[in-house]
Structure 1
Amino acid sequence: MIDTIKRAFPQTEINGCLETRTETEFHIYDHETEKRCYVHTDSEGIKHFTVENVSGRPVHFLAIDKCLFFDNDGPKRCDCAIFDKETFCFIEIKTTSSMTQRKKLRREAKNQLKAAVTFFRENITFTSTQIEAYVSSLIDSQTRPLNRASLIDEIEEFEEIGVILFHNNRKKFE
């Protein structure tokens, strides 16, 4: 899959968007001013999304927003992706403490994830690769939990396009 990504998107190497990690745990953070995702292994650093790599095999990180694509490159797409030879995970990170903002940001996240999935499918064949999408919402702990009925609707909406949707800040590769 990594060679397929490099062929389809040669800017990944030019812009330094793609890297391979073998640590058993690493973290992704969406840089506040650059609006681009990066990987770090510092347990004290900013952790917007955590990747557990139990086996230590290669897991690839692909910065999408502000690296692979920029604001003038069409519709907004998700922040980043992580993948191995079996699973390709698109991730959109949103942060808020406002209930009204949270609903709007979730809708934006879903649209960005769908745009990324559509674009990648137009340029890459995902044979025998499971596609997952993550809405990584970093919310104030005092905010109410998400409505279960709307979560089910969103999950079904993504199932229709062959993608498994998660509202989670963590992915575990076994």
Structure 2
Amino acid sequence: MISSLKKVFPHIDEKECLQFISEKSFEIFDHEEDKKCYVLEENGQFKVVNANEQEIGFIAVDECLFNSSDGSRADCIIFEDEVFCFIELKHCKNKNIPRNRQKAKKQLITTIEFFKEKINIEQKLEAYICVTCSSNEERITMTPRANNEEAQLEFEEYYDTQLFYSCQKEFK
């Protein structure tokens, strides 16, 4: 799959869009100014738990694989041998939460469709919508109050992808 990625995105190495992490846990941060995702030890928006310290691939999608001028792609991807995860991170003011979730869903769908068309992905597909809001220096993860089974069923049925409203992925 890595060779397919390099064929579709010849600039992946030059722009340092792909990296591998074997830490027990790490976090992903979507930089507000340059709009690119980065891996941090802490204080990110999305946490990856890797208890077995296996090699996890990280791909910065927005402003790396793709120029974000169209704003229609997921922010990043994490993967290992079993699972390939598309992640969209949103930071919001409370009144924008439903709109941000809808936009995140569209961005994930666009990215999933592109990858399924261009790259042969053998792993199980997962998609994550992570919406965080800050209030008085405290970051709060917003999970939907309403049951979003409809969106989850749509992802399962049309994209063969499991959808999660979560800011954490645990690899086992």
TM-score, length-scaled by structure 1: 0.88
* Partner of residue 170 from structure 2, selected from 155, 161, 172: 172
User: CA 1:145 to 1:164, structure 2 compared with 1: closer, same or farther past 3 Å?
Assistant: closer
- Give the aligned partner of residue 136 of structure 1: 130
- Give the aligned partner of residue 105 of structure 1: 100
* Partner of residue 162 from structure 1, selected from 160, 163, 166: 160
- Give the aligned partner of residue 15 of structure 2: 15
More strand by share: 2
1:146 is displaced (CA, Å) by: 2.0
Letter in 1 for 2:26: F
* 1:96-153 deviation line (CA, Å, top 9, x unaligned): 1323x111110100000000000001111123x100000011135789862333x111
Q: Is the partner of 1:7 in helix, strand or coil?
A: helix
* Partner of residue 56 from structure 1, selected from 53, 59, 64: 53
Instruction: Percent identity, please.
Output: 36
1:79 is displaced (CA, Å) by: 0.3
Letter in 2 for 1:34: D
- Give the aligned partner of residue 44 of structure 2: 47
Q: Does 2:73 align with 1:86?
A: no
1:14 is displaced (CA, Å) by: 1.6
Gap runs ≥5 in structure 2: none
Whether the aligned pair in 1 keeps the contact of 2:12 and 2:64 (CA below 8 Å) is yes
* Partner of residue 122 from structure 1, selected from 111, 117, 122: 117
Kindly report structure 1 stretches of 4+ aligned residues shifted beyond 3 Å. Answer: 140-145
Q: What RMSD, in angstroms, separates the aligned Cα atoms of the two structures? A: 1.9
Q: Is the partner of 2:108 in helix, strand or coil?
A: helix
The count of aligned residue pairs is 167
Distance 1:138 1:75 in 2: 19
Whether the aligned pair in 2 keeps the contact of 1:97 and 1:143 (CA below 8 Å) is no
Q: Is the partner of 2:105 in helix, strand or coil?
A: helix
User: CA 1:136 to 1:145, structure 2 compared with 1: closer, same or farther past 3 Å?
Assistant: closer
Letter in 2 for 1:138: T
Distance 1:166 1:172 in 2: 12
* 1:60-118 deviation line (CA, Å, top 9, x unaligned): 0000000100134x66100000001111000000011323x111110100000000000
Distance 1:119 1:94 in 2: 21
* 1:18-38 deviation line (CA, Å, top 9, x unaligned): 000000101100001111100
Distance 1:145 1:136 in 2: 8
Gap runs ≥5 in structure 1: none
